[in-house]
Structure 1
Amino acid sequence: MGNGSADARERVRNTFEKVVADGLRRESVAGASEEQIDAAAAAQGVDRLPEAVREVLRRVGARPGRWLAGSAFGIRLDGARAKRAARAVAGGALADPDGMFVLVEHQAYEYHVIDGADLGDDDPPVWLVVEGEGARRAWGSVTGWFAAESPDVARYRSRLRLMMEQRARRGRTDVPGWAHDLRADDEPDAGPDAGPDAG
């Protein structure tokens, strides 16, 4: 692998580590194995995935936690079905719609995809395909997409504080399930051995 592959991997890692530093529990996500990544590609009829995509899936592809909450992503995505649906919606905007790789399906009407013509690049653009709107290049790179789709931990923490204040006024102490994905303000990171690189 060339420098482009290493650079793409490093940019994904830096984004992931920033979100963890901001307070996401490292252990709230799990990365996919190389075998799972290869199977996800094969399910969509893709022989090669860009290195940036592989690194995203290594980080959060098995259990994305707050990443892309509410969307089908990684090994939980029914890639063959999502690809058929995205291809039907994309129209003629993509150079190689038959070869595309679907990263995300949101509510069966929105898809984040990589044009099949770009799968040979280490860090290709990501297209947004929306039912009724067609397809447009929305992110200049997979690493840019991953950063843009990162959970806003500060916003989640602020929301949690407000929710807990409101619950306390009602005599409640229960915590929403998603709050377990966040570290307390004074809680240290469990370290890389607790997250997607473990094992």
Structure 2
Amino acid sequence: MVHEHVRDIYTRAARTAFLDREAVRGAGDAELEQLVGGQRLDSLPAAAGSVLRLVGGAKGPWFLGERLVLADADPGGLKEAALGCGTQETGAQLHDTAGMLVLTCHDGTRYEVVDGCDLSMADPPVWILDGTGDVQKSCGSLTEWFSRAADRVVNLSKDVARRARQGRPTPPWARYFTISASTRPGRAGDRTEGGAESRP
């Protein structure tokens, strides 16, 4: 089931990365309703709802460098900005831009979206819409998109741990992890004393 798959992706990354349990907060029902209304959606894919219920309130290190809907951006404003890109008549196209779900924005020029015609799917593909109107497939499914984000979270924690072991200054995102010089993020489930468990 999609919900369990999304939660498993989150839990494994949180444990492996020694994610601070206070760094991340999920979105609640009212926030998800704000998303559906603000972006004028017919529905919200199950996988999107599951992801946002985990990281949509305060995302911590998830989607670092990007504005994630609800966590960082007003849903309606994010969609209006994406709609301003239009689409080009190139190989890949969105069939329903007016009904699309806009998930993230990077540098105000690149948006990750779900085509409006796919919103009834539990785990639809994710597309990249850039400022020129060009459209490319980002991931074959929302769960794949979230899994890639999980890999980035783990890599960020490894960078923090490496810097700590070397006695080098740690980057700003170090605050999202419970990592010390002796911490070595590795396999999922590996914990050291004081490491944070993932929050459901």
TM range (shorter): 0.7 to 0.9
Q: Which of residues 16, 30, 39 in structure 1 aligns to 2:34?
A: 39
TM-score (norm 1): 0.82
Corresponding residue of 2:75? 79
Shift of 1:134: 0.7
**Residue 49 in structure 1 maps to residue 41 in structure 2:** no
- The amino acid that maps onto 1:20 is A
SS in 2 for 1:83: helix
Distance 1:35 1:14, change over 3 A: same
**Residue 89 in structure 1 maps to residue 85 in structure 2:** yes
Q: Which moved more, 1:78-87 or 1:115-124?
A: 78-87
- Map 1:158-197 to 2 at 5 A: 158-164=158-164, 165-167=166-168, 175-184=170-179, 185=183, 186-191=192-197, 195=199, 197=200
The alignment's C-alpha RMSD in Å is: 2.1
Distance 1:69 1:78, change over 3 A: same
Q: Which moved more, 1:69-78 or 1:112-121?
A: 69-78
Shift of 1:29: 0.7
What is the rounded CA distance, in whole Å, between the counterparts of 1:97 and 1:134 in structure 2? 13
Distance 1:115 1:191, change over 3 A: same
What is the rounded CA distance, in whole Å, between the counterparts of 1:106 and 1:191 in structure 2? 30
- For structure 2, the 5+ residue unaligned runs are 184-191
**Residue 60 in structure 1 maps to residue 61 in structure 2:** no
What is the rounded CA distance, in whole Å, between the counterparts of 1:191 and 1:155 in structure 2? 18
TM-score (norm 2): 0.81
Aligned length: 182
- For structure 1, the 5+ residue unaligned runs are 1-6, 168-173
What is the rounded CA distance, in whole Å, between the counterparts of 2:112 and 2:52 in structure 1? 14
